[in-house]
Amino acid sequence: MKKFLVLGVLFILPIVAYLFFSSGVNNFAKLPVLTPQISNLEDFTSLDGNKVVLDNKITILSIYGSNIEAKEGNAFNLNEKIYDKNYNFEDFQFVVIAENGTQDQARVLLKELSTTIDTRKWKFVFGSSTAIQSFFNSLKTDLDLDEYLGTPKVFIIDKDRSLRGRPKEEGEEAVYGYNTSSVADLTNTMTDDVKVILAEYRLALKKYNRKEALK
């Protein structure tokens, strides 16, 4: 009996531990708002001429500035770890802000990304260096853009144009953005937070549908 108990513990505990850590549960029922009402994209034009807005969309926002080529690896990481698992969510979009004159770089990147997946929800918008800096400032983060007006960090923007993330807690820094250079950051922290915000909107939609059915 003792032998079976020991064997059971040896087999069951690792499974329980794996399920616990792989579930990626964070401390939030809703992903906290860090900056309400960031700027919209009025000062930017899209690659295909269609209007791109942040309102009423859950947006994964990247800023590549004047050097899209330097962010190709970041885009592929994001495409594989976040986009591939969630792009079928109806109101989900991936927006990349870049500087005017980099449209050809964007087309090349989109073509490369599209070899593995449908990229219709990747949206590239272009503006001046002043417009990019002004938009970035509206996020009100503790981050800085690099010399090309880009950043490896990616941001979660909700349907009300609010920046979501993790506030500063004891022993931990605030998470305004997620490092697309780090597969671990995308796989663990960002994957978890995206699940939370999508679950939040799915729950809101279910409640709305129930109310409509009762009318």
pLDDT tens by residue, 155-208? 999 999 999 999 998 889 999 999 999 999 999 999 999 999 999 988 876 665
Tokens 């269609």 correspond to: 50
Of 54, 58, 47, nearest to 109 by C-alpha is 47
Q: Is pLDDT above 60 for 129?
A: yes
Residue 21's pLDDT band (boundaries 50, 70, 90)? very low
Q: Is pLDDT above 70 for 211?
A: no
The predicted pLDDT at position 29 comes to 77
- Give CA–CA dist 147/136, Å, rounded: 14
Q: Is pLDDT above 60 for 13?
A: no
Q: Percentage of residues in the chain with pLDDT exceeding 70?
A: 81
pTM score: 0.84
Q: Minimum mean pLDDT among 14-18, 130-134, 192-196, 202-206: which range?
A: 14-18
The predicted pLDDT at position 2 comes to 53
Mean pLDDT (the chain, rounded): 87
Element (H, E) at 46: strand 45-46
Phi, psi of 96, rounded to the nearest 5 degrees: -115, 125
State pLDDT tens for residues 31-82.
999 999 999 999 999 998 899 999 999 999 999 999 999 999 999 999 999 9
Enumerate domains of the chain plus CATH numbers: 28-166+173-214 (3.40.30.10)
The predicted pLDDT at position 45 comes to 97
Contact 210, 177 (CB under 8 A): no
